[in-house]
A and B are shown apart, each in its own frame.
Chain A
Amino acid sequence: MGRARAPELPPDLRRTLRRARRLEWLTFVYMASAVILLALVLGSSQAMKTAWIEDLLSLIPPVAFLVAARFNTRGPTRRFPYGFHRIVSIGHLCSALALFVMGAYLLAESVSKLITMEYPTINSVELFGRTIWLGWLMLPALAYSALPSVFLGRAKIPLAEELHNKVLYADAKMNKANWLTAGAAMVGVVGIGFGLWWADAAAAALISLDITKDGVANLRRAVVDLMDQAPTTVDGDDPDPLRDKLASMLQDLDWVEEVDLRLREEGQVYFGEALVVPSDETNITEKIEDALERARDLDWRIHDLSLTPVREVPEPDERGAKEPMG
């Protein structure tokens, strides 16, 4: 099983993946429409601009997911003997970096607007022969960009958990938090209407702080995953219990005396190796094959495991200890 050529996902999860793909396409189309709509009413409100850029940025995770989902299940080739699973982590890194850079930039911009006391100017437009302040038109546009995305985010979270896909998860979280962004931008725009010039920049600073926070959290997760951190659950930094489950399963085999197990995440699935000290070396090849079979049956995420019999396992290190992850 060292070179698992089997597709990543078991049949029922392939259905989940199809649903996730459909939802991501929907997100992409809807977000693109929101970006266009907001661009039409974009004035010089900083909060509005920030909300718009956030919507623009939220196009990246669906694209990253859709691209990654196309490639990650391709079988290994001579050039890529480990397959293409890691493309998911790379997609995660890309979207996290975009989030972080944009958040930091917008934060700096809105704070500087607060410091230099820049007054936001919003024009009026002529609509059906009447002069209407553009600020009023921004409000429904913002509402359109926020409300449906909350439900999209909500629908995507369970799929992300099932698929163990962190790009999808980060995207779902961003969608879910979108109402906050839009709400803050609305407060900023109405603040301008009241003649409170600082309300806008303050709202923008708040939104960008949130974007930056999301960016940093995702960036950290993507980087530590690429650095072969031990697998974590998709929703946080807790170690995945699957590792311990697999270790004790191997330990409990009657021919195994001691086990040393290392796992790492490659996108949605886990790769790793186990060193075992056999108590009985007869028929060792069959025993190893049987153990690998059992490991695979334990969970679909155990994708590529190699098992090596050794005389003794290396000195125990802090790997087994409950250290804080990340």
Chain B
Amino acid sequence: MRRELFTGCKAFGIMVLALFSLASAGCDFPRDPRSTLEDVRNGTMRVGIVDNDPWTRIEDGRASGAEVELLKDFAEKLGAETSFVQGTTPELLEATRQDEIDVLVGGFTSTSPGVSEGKEAGVTGPYLTTHSVVGVPPGTPAFDDPSDREIAVERIGATAALLKEEGAVPVAVDDLSTAGMPVAAYGWQLRAWGFEPTSIVLPEEQHIMAVPLGENGWLVELERFLRAHRPEAKELLRKEST
């Protein structure tokens, strides 16, 4: 029994040694099972877009928005062309599963259903944190209890869900800047539109992007880029949302 254990420990030691020497040998680690990173470099980066202003927009067949601009920079850094595919979240998740899309964006957050669970696509760590503030039109009295108040949002989505949790009644309006009622928006938007911010700050939203499952080399490269470009991302968001 003692002998058997001894050889066990030795085998373990050899295994650990082998693993670490392997780990230090290669610098292009981890690798992709389907070589996405290699294909994108000096090739084309296929970007899936779910329309979600100000993060992503499609106007006259042209893609724009904060995340789109960010990915264009990433493609440039990799020496790649970009091609954009527009669709709904389920369509594009399916395409990502099929490895027909390299990266999927659409203002997704760490609570976006379908994406954030990482079941259909791999997700990056949060690369940007935002929070919305409730503001009131000029000349309207401010309030600090959102319960049962109607508050305008651009569309019923993540922000509306957060408002509901606070007890407010979210109302979708076309243009927040001309809404004659309290709105939920980013701080700089409120300032630009001349709204008075209230003390009601909604919980943070952590923004993520999605990639095909298991493409770890590609995922890590994207995460590295996003981490290094946080200030640019914030700046792009401000520009696109005012």
- A residues near B217, Cβ cutoff 8 Å: 195
Residue A194 interfacial (CB < 8 Å) = yes
Contact B220 A147 (CB under 8 A): no
Residue B33 interfacial (CB < 8 Å) = yes
- B residues near A118, Cβ cutoff 8 Å: 213-214
- A residues near B118, Cβ cutoff 8 Å: 44, 121
Contact B220 A131 (CB under 8 A): yes
B18 to chain A, nearest CB (A): 9
Residue B164 interfacial (CB < 8 Å) = no
The CA of A120 and the CA of B32, in the complex, are separated in Å by 11
Contact A197 B214 (CB under 8 A): yes
The CA of A288 and the CA of B183, in the complex, are separated in Å by 94
Residue B31 interfacial (CB < 8 Å) = yes
A125: nearest residue on chain B (CB-CB)?
Answer: B125
- A residues near B9, Cβ cutoff 8 Å: 150, 179
Contact A133 B19 (CB under 8 A): no
Contact A193 B214 (CB under 8 A): no
- What 1/0 mask marks residues of chain A from 133 to 164 whose CB sits below 8 Å from any chain B CB? 10110010001001100100010010000000
Residue A112 interfacial (CB < 8 Å) = no
Residues in B203-217 with C-beta less than 8 Å from chain A: 212-217
Residues in B1-59 with C-beta less than 8 Å from chain A: 1, 5, 8-9, 11-12, 15-16, 19-20, 22-23, 29-33, 35
The CA of A253 and the CA of B223, in the complex, are separated in Å by 82
- B residues near A157, Cβ cutoff 8 Å: 1
In the complex with contacts A126-B227, A193-B29, A195-B30, A179-B8 CB distance below 8 A: yes
The CA of A133 and the CA of B19, in the complex, are separated in Å by 15
- What 1/0 mask marks residues of chain B from 92 to 106 whose CB sits below 8 Å from any chain A CB? 000000000000000
Please give the number of chain B residues whose Cβ is less than 8 angstroms from any Cβ of chain A in the complex. 34
Tell me the dominant secondary structure on chain A's binding face: helix
The CA of A285 and the CA of B213, in the complex, are separated in Å by 80
Contact B124 A123 (CB under 8 A): yes
Residue B122 interfacial (CB < 8 Å) = yes
- B residues near A196, Cβ cutoff 8 Å: 33
- B residues near A44, Cβ cutoff 8 Å: 118
Please give the number of chain A residues whose Cβ is less than 8 angstroms from any Cβ of chain B in the complex. 35
In the complex with contacts A44-B118, A133-B29, A193-B216, A123-B125 CB distance below 8 A: yes
Contact B214 A119 (CB under 8 A): yes
Contact A190 B33 (CB under 8 A): no
Contact B19 A139 (CB under 8 A): yes
The 8 Å CB contact of B30, one of A143, A154, A193, is: A193
In the complex with contacts A135-B30, A176-B5, A195-B32, A124-B125 CB distance below 8 A: yes
B9: nearest residue on chain A (CB-CB)?
Answer: A150
Contact B31 A123 (CB under 8 A): no
B35: nearest residue on chain A (CB-CB)?
Answer: A195
Residue A186 interfacial (CB < 8 Å) = yes
- B residues near A147, Cβ cutoff 8 Å: 12
Contact A133 B20 (CB under 8 A): no
- A residues near B212, Cβ cutoff 8 Å: 119
A129: nearest residue on chain B (CB-CB)?
Answer: B227
The 8 Å CB contact of A123, one of B12, B15, B29, B219, is: B219
Contact B16 A143 (CB under 8 A): yes
Residue A272 interfacial (CB < 8 Å) = no
A-B contacts, 19 listed (Cβ < 8 Å): A44-B118, A118-B213, A120-B213, A121-B213, A121-B215, A123-B122, A123-B125, A124-B223, A126-B125, A131-B223, A135-B216, A187-B19, A190-B22, A193-B30, A194-B31, A195-B30, A195-B32, A197-B33, A197-B214
Nearest 6 CB-CB pairings of A with B: A119-B214, A121-B122, A195-B31, A193-B30, A119-B213, A131-B224
Q: Residues on B close to A: CB < 8 A?
A: 1, 5, 8-9, 11-12, 15-16, 19-20, 22-23, 29-33, 35, 118, 122-125, 212-217, 219-220, 223-224, 227
